[in-house]
C-alpha cells in the first residue's frame, strides 16, 4: 500500500483538487486498492470546511467530484504515515520542511516534479484569481498526477 498526501496552504483549492484527480486516475487504471490518498493544508485557515465553490465547479466540469472533501491541517503523524508528501508550491515545501522530521525530508516533493509538460512549475494558488486560475490549476494537476501514476505504476 502506497500513501500519498497532497498539500497546499488552506486545503480548499489545490490539494483537494489533486486528491480528486489522482483518485480518479487510480480508479481508471484499476490501481485504487493499492493506495491511500489524502490532502491537507499547511495552515489552519479553513479546517472543517468544504473546498472553495470555484474549485468544486471547475473540477466537476472535468469529471472530478471533490465536493465531499473536508479541509484539514497537516499533522506531525502525516510525516510517518505517508510515503509521498506532494506540495503545490515552494512556499508549501519550505513550510513543510520547517516542521518535518529530518528523516522524512525525502518524502517531500513539488507535485509538478512528476509533470511531463509543467515539470517543476509551481501550481499557483487560485484563491484570489478569476475562473482562469482554477482552470490552470487543473491543467497543472492533471499533468502531474498522470506522471505520478506512471511513476508509481512502473
3-state secondary structure of 121: coil
All structural domains of the chain: 2-152 (3.40.50.2300)
Instruction: Give the model's pLDDT for residue 130.
Output: 83
Residue range 55-92, pLDDT digits in tens: 999 999 999 999 999 999 999 999 999 999 999 999 99
Distances (CA, A) of 13 to 19, 55, 74, 113: 10, 6, 15, 19
- Name the catalytic one among 8, 13, 100, 145: 8
Residue range 2-29, pLDDT digits in tens: 999 999 999 999 999 999 999 999 999 9
- Name the catalytic one among 52, 78, 125, 143: 125
Phi, then psi, of 6 in degrees rounded to 5: -100, 135
100 is catalytic: no
Which pTM does this prediction carry? 0.97
Mean pLDDT across the stretch 110-119? 95
Residue with cell 498526501: 5
What does the block give as the cell for 108? 517531500
14 is catalytic: yes
62 is catalytic: no
> 45-49, 132-136, 141-145: which range is least confident on average?
132-136
Amino acid at each position: 500500500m502506497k500513501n500519498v498526501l497532497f498539500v497546499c496552504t488552506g486545503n480548499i483549492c489545490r490539494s483537494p483538487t489533486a486528491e480528486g484527480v489522482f483518485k480518479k486516475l487510480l480508479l481508471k487504471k484499476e490501481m485504487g486498492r493499492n493506495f491511500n490518498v489524502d490532502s491537507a493544508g499547511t495552515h489552519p485557515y479553513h479546517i472543517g470546511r468544504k473546498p472553495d465553490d470555484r474549485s468544486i465547479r471547475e473540477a466537476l466540469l472535468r469529471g472530478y467530484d471533490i465536493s465531499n472533501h473536508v479541509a484539514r491541517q497537516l499533522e506531525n503523524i502525516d510525516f510517518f504515515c505517508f510515503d509521498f508528501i506532494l506540495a503545490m508550491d515552494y512556499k508549501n515545501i519550505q513550510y513543510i520542511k520547517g516542521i518535518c522530521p529530518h528523516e522524512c525530508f525525502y518524502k517531500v516533493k513539488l507535485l509538478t516534479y512528476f509533470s511531463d509538460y509543467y515539470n517543476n512549475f509551481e501550481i499557483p494558488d487560485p484563491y484570489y484569481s478569476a475562473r482562469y486560475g482554477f482552470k490552470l490549476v487543473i491543467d497543472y494537476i492533471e499533468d502531474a498526477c498522470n506522471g505520478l501514476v506512471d511513476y508509481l505504476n512502473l
